[in-house]
Amino acid sequence: MFGFCATIISALLWPDLLSNQQAIIVTFVAFILIRIAPMVAGSLLACAWISIYCSLLFQVGPAFSANKTEQMQQSVTVRGEIISLVALNRDQIRVDIALINVDAILPIQKRLRLTWKTQLVPQVGQQWQFVIKPKSITQVLNQGGFNQQKYFISQHIIGKGWVLDATLVKADIPWRERVIRRLTDVLAGFPQGDLLLAIISGDKSLISSSRWQQLRSSGTGHLIAISGLHLSVVALYCAAFSLWLLARIHPVQSSVNLRLVSLFCLICVCGYAALAGWQLPTIRAFVMLFLVVLLSFSQGHSSTWERLLIALFVVLVMDPVAILSAGLWLSFGALVIIFALFNRQVPVTTWPQKIVALIVVQISLTLGLSLLQMSLFAGVAPHALWINLLMVPWFSLVVIPICLVSFVIWLVVANGFNVDGIFELANALLWPFVELIKLTSQLPYAWIAVSQQLLPNLLWTLLAILVLLGAAKRFKVLALLLLLPVALSLLKPRQEPSWQVHVLDVGQGLAW
């Protein structure tokens, strides 16, 4: 598994993937070596799997791989289900659709982002047949800019297009969309209704651009996006409730009760993930949680690191292009930091020790994830340290449980009674969070952009600080070695160029 995972991750540096014929040969060799050299076999299987997966993912039609002149001269007919309304303007909309392909070899979801000039307002969940003018995914070549190609592929968006004609095929709206539509009408009247809708259902359509900017500058976007934190909170509270209930109904200390509790937790978490639409980050978090429960009841012993490796292996088998997603790196990076701290086995018994441990974990998470944040987004939010130290416990212990309990009560009772006021408490509990992110966006250094030249030095320095904080004493000397590249770069004399040219890629503005 280690060879498989390491090789999949190394694909970020490959110049090209294998062809289908080469992948078949490599797979055959891997099965021959699986007993002799299992790590080499795992690496070979990873090479073959990611190549075959990407080949199947981009296997839509020749129109999307054609050059620009050929694309302008042909149209493509596709059938898909609308999964997201990206933007609604006066005369045109942008939608993401999931292609429906009954002849697919593997159940790989393929998506397209379409621009549609229409007065209609299609609904999420409807199936349409589109005649489109295809367009490949493009990317500007500015350093530090948003990498649209990388983001689209990580979300399985394999192309774009203009809608020339559209026919509604299936108007039935799934249960999730019906619930979200009713919930949106209710929560739109609350000051924090946009955040409530995102926490409960994963729908972020009500969040304004100014609110997104506040979340970005405070480093708290992860509290709104349904991910491992939210699913873990649901699992823990469901486990506590079911244990309390079983202690009164069937007070027997046996593995049967634990299995019942685990099954109940998985059912509740599965329902929450389904309400969130089974987005890719939610799927990854659910897979990890499911594996934790499964391995807890397995006969063999496995360490914390082995379980994390198994979770990463399963995620990469299900979706190898997840290595392009920032969410994968941030979620697994956070787990690595937490496991590294708790594996030190320092006794934590008293409340002061617990508070200190919480502060140490939050500081380590902020510093560690800052490394990834700078690498992924070319910037960092310094105020994320103190605001997450306050808000992560607040969301885990209060906000998320109250929001979901309010939703369950509303869902059960709303058919017969008007209980829209049930969300008043959840709305009030989000008020401190909203005020804090507003304050953070107005403070100096809310977002610090990191230049490409300065980024390596900062990464080495923060990594050295993490080693000093978390590593055992015999490994702390590694911090000096990590600072060696920084010292060499500072001692190196700088030579200013006699002249230089800065070119900004603005897309079609550079065309002649």
Q: How far apart are CA 335 and CA 312, in angstroms?
A: 11
CA dist 153 → 40, 167, 283 (Å): 28, 27, 17
pLDDT of residue 415: 64
Between CA 319 and CA 175, with CA 273 as vertex, the angle to 5 degrees is 115
E-state strands within 136-247: 157-170
> Within a 10 A sphere around the Cβ of 14, how many other Cβ atoms?
12
pLDDT of residue 401: 93
Token duo for residue 64 = 């999307």
Maximum alpha-carbon separation in the chain: 82
Q: How far apart are CA 334 and CA 285, in angstroms?
A: 13
What is the torsion angle, in degrees rounded to the nearest 10, for the CA atoms of residue 114, residue 83, residue 218 and residue 482?
-80
Q: How far apart are CA 241 and CA 262, in angstroms?
A: 12
Token duo for residue 452 = 């490409």
Residues with Cβ < 8 Å from 106, sequence gap 6 or more?
A: 53, 56
Cite the DSSP H helix spans in 117-208: 148-154, 175-187, 193-201
In the beta sheet, which residues pair with residue 114?
A: 95, 161
List the domains of the chain with CATH numbers. 2-57 (no CATH), 62-173 (2.40.50.140), 221-449 (no CATH), 455-491 (no CATH)
Contact status, residue 220 vs residue 387, Cβ threshold 8 Å: yes
pLDDT of residue 243: 86
Q: How far apart are CA 328 and CA 319, in angstroms?
A: 11
Token duo for residue 485 = 């590249």
Q: How far apart are CA 471 and CA 478, in angstroms?
A: 9
In the beta sheet, which residues pair with residue 380?
A: 448
pLDDT of residue 199: 92
Cite the DSSP H helix spans in 343-477: 351-377, 384-394, 400-413, 424-429, 431-442, 455-470
pLDDT along the chain (512 residues), means of 10: 88 88 91 88 92 86 53 76 81 87 74 87 86 82 74 88 89 84 88 91 86 86 86 90 83 75 89 85 82 72 78 88 85 79 65 75 76 74 83 89 91 70 89 91 79 69 70 68 74 71 69 52
